[in-house]
Structure 1
Amino acid sequence: MRIAICDDEKRICAILAEKVGKICPGAEIMTYASGEELLGADVLPDILLLDIKMPGLSGMDVAKTLRDRDWRKILIFITGEEDQVFNSFDFHAFHFLVKPVADEKLKEVLENAVKDLKRSGAESGKHDKYIEIQSGTSHIRVNLSLLLYAEVYDRKTILHMKNESIEYYGQLSVLENLVGKDFYRIHRSYLVNMKYVERYDRTSVTLTGGDNIPISRREYDGFLKAYLEYSRRRIDS
């Protein structure tokens, strides 16, 4: 298990590293003095303690870049200003620690993070969920963790994956029943993976990569409820 601490104050990095090492003996502890240094690392951590307010790239900038790289492990923000917490909900942080970080709180949050990591299988590489479709004469195994959204167009369903698009003849309602509760049908023609939602309003949802998907007026309240439940599952599961 790798635990990284990113804070521009080297003294705080050293103090946290020592405390984390005692709480999680056996873990590999890495420290970074800037967001740029962290993003340039060869290996990313399983758990990241990330300062929000840093010169250069802020913690928010770093978190967004990590999400764009599909890093979906455990993020714990550290902040000296409590109101910063409300500006960072979109990043699905596991928890927020306010400076000066109390030893008991750090221990509680880290122990829960380790439990969550083991439960989700993130450290060891949990098997992703797949479905099988037929496209033309080909049978294709689709990794749902890589599916951003699906749309219906000209009687075909198009699966917009992270690196490709797959077309097949099939009903979106059938796909909706297969993919599970991490997806939501925001429009009769669109089914989105909430994992990749970057922002939303009453008229559209913007996904990782920039695709902007319309949301029907009657589905907004249902989507909002489902998205909040999804966010809660990520924190409490």
Structure 2
Amino acid sequence: MLKIAVCDDEKIILEQIKRYVEAFEVPSSVDVYHSGEGLLMSGRHYDIIFLDIDMQGINGIETARRIRRSDKKVKIIYVTGYNDFASSAFSVHAFGYLLKPVKQEQIHRQLREAVSYTEQEAPVQTVRFETESGIKDLDIKEIYYFEYLDRKIQIKTDAGIYRLKGSITMMAEKMEKYGFCMPHKSFVVNLYQVKSLKGYDITMMDGSVVPLSQKKSVEFREKLSSFLARQI
């Protein structure tokens, strides 16, 4: 059974989407929330979330960012009356983007795609590192970046920071095939975890900021654009 949440501060829209989801061919349990705060406070994990963007209080983009801190797998489908939030939606790895008013078939199409993607998703991919605290098998998607600091490589992850000996350049070569890129001589970042790029500041999903050197700017921007295009 699918676990689905619908979050919208318009009662009519909320009830409408709930009816559409309940009419889907795959059995589902549906929870409804009138605000981003309510969804976050529930502490529940879902397979799919239909999420409004322009809500009172915490908007849908910020709600999704907070959800992503603990849940990288949930499929977030935005349902909104505005079409100028698309770029922000992709920054939180949104699965879909629907404009109001929505029809039942649109909701069902998104649900079918979400179910199909879930069934075909590759298992967690890990890479082994020999760190100062022992051998660690780290989920690639949970790594934010590598930083060369005090003659050691620091690995910034969801679970914390790990340190190991080595060359940051060799680390960049090792991780390139997993979607990592070197924007600065001291950093290697996970393109999957990039939230935004403004000027020469790369903001990661955890809020940390990584510098982009002028020398590597063109190459990094091209690789990031190519990576994002493959995610759409």
Give the 3 Å change call, closer, same or farther, for CA 141–96 of structure 1 in structure 2: closer
2:100 corresponding residue in structure 1: 99
1:213 corresponding residue in structure 2: 210
Counterpart-to-counterpart distance in 2, 1:83 and 1:92: 16
- Give the CA deviation at 1:215: 0.8
Counterpart-to-counterpart distance in 1, 2:200 and 2:72: 28
The size of the alignment, in residue pairs, is 230
1:73 corresponding residue in structure 2: 74
2:183 corresponding residue in structure 1: 186
Runs of 5+ consecutive residues of structure 1 not aligned to the other structure: none
Q: Given the alignment of the two structures, is residue 132 of structure 1 paired with residue 133 of structure 2, yes or no?
A: no
User: Paired residue for 1:224, among 221, 226, 230?
Assistant: 221
- Residue-by-residue CA offset, 1:165-221 (whole Å, 9 max, x unaligned): 222111223323333332111112100112322221231212233322111223223
User: Paired residue for 2:148, among 152, 160, 181?
Assistant: 152
Structure 2 length-normalised TM:
0.87
For 1:222, the aligned partner's letter is E
Give the 3 Å change call, closer, same or farther, for CA 234–118 of structure 1 in structure 2: farther
Q: Given the alignment of the two structures, is residue 16 of structure 1 paired with residue 12 of structure 2, yes or no?
A: no
- Give the CA deviation at 1:24: 4.0
Structure 1 length-normalised TM:
0.85
Question: Would you say the 8 A contact 1:135–1:167 is kept in 2?
Answer: yes
Identity %, equivalent residues: 27
Query: Over aligned residues, Cα RMSD in angstroms?
Result: 2.2
Greater displacement, 77-86 / 2-11: 77-86
Question: Would you say the 8 A contact 2:132–2:162 is kept in 1?
Answer: no
Greater displacement, 187-196 / 18-27: 18-27
Counterpart-to-counterpart distance in 1, 2:136 and 2:219: 31
Counterpart-to-counterpart distance in 2, 1:151 and 1:144: 16
Question: Would you say the 8 A contact 1:92–1:231 is kept in 2?
Answer: no
Question: Would you say the 8 A contact 1:131–1:178 is kept in 2?
Answer: no
Give the 3 Å change call, closer, same or farther, for CA 183–86 of structure 1 in structure 2: closer
1:41 corresponding residue in structure 2: 42
- Give the CA deviation at 1:156: 2.0
- Give the CA deviation at 1:70: 4.1
Give the 3 Å change call, closer, same or farther, for CA 204–111 of structure 1 in structure 2: same
Counterpart-to-counterpart distance in 2, 1:140 and 1:89: 30
- Give the CA deviation at 1:18: 1.6
Give the 3 Å change call, closer, same or farther, for CA 144–27 of structure 1 in structure 2: same
Counterpart-to-counterpart distance in 2, 1:6 and 1:148: 28
2:165 corresponding residue in structure 1: 169
- Give the CA deviation at 1:137: 8.2
